[in-house]
Amino acid sequence: MGKVIIFCAPSGSGKSTIIGSLMPRKELNLFFSVSATTRPPRGEERNGVEYLFMTPKEFRKHIDANDFIEYEEVYTDRFYGTLRSQVDNQLAEGQNVVFDVDVHGGLRLKECFGSRALSLFIQPPSIDVLRQRLEGRGTDSPEVIQQRLDRAEYELSFAPHFDRIVINDDLEAAKAEAYKAIRDFLSEPI
């Protein structure tokens, strides 16, 4: 039976980069839980690989059918969620399932899986650094960046509720810290 690794962070904190460095590590046996979302794909994202892209109407049908372990309406009609059936199958196959979710979803997942889950909060060194990173992406309008920064301030208040906080001031050090935390957690008996 697999375990659960939960990653949460404000947008632009380096969470995806850190997760990307861990996924190829065969000794960790990590597999993504592909979240569902109503946001449009970015860049080269493909349906069923990075996310399951849905319309708000489709997403609401899954909510009504109680298909999600967790879901959140992050912005108006901008939903993210985790389908229960996918995770159950992965855990039964012995996979260690990685979640990349918002703070509310992360806390719900931790509550749901308890000691079978490790929750990691990836934190930027400051809001100013976060602004620079978001602007440096060149993918969002100034209005969207401001929305993300406003949301980040709120999300940062939840960091103490996670098992581990990894401050991403130095990317290589943050990757190493996350790796060690996960390796140690996976070596513990369930």
Q: Where are the domains of the chain?
A: 4-187
Beta strands 4-8 and 117-123, pairing class = parallel
Q: Give the total residue count for the chain.
A: 190
Please enumerate in sequence order all residues whose Cβ is within 8 A of that of 139, keeping only pairs 6 or more positions apart, or say none.
Answer: 42, 43
**Full-model pTM:** 0.81
| pLDDT, tens digit, 9 for 90 and up, residues 31-73 | 998 889 999 999 999 998 888 999 999 999 999 999 999 888 9
Half-sphere exposure of 165 (CA within 13 A, CB side): 14
**Does 3.30.540.10 match the CATH number of domain 4-187?**
no
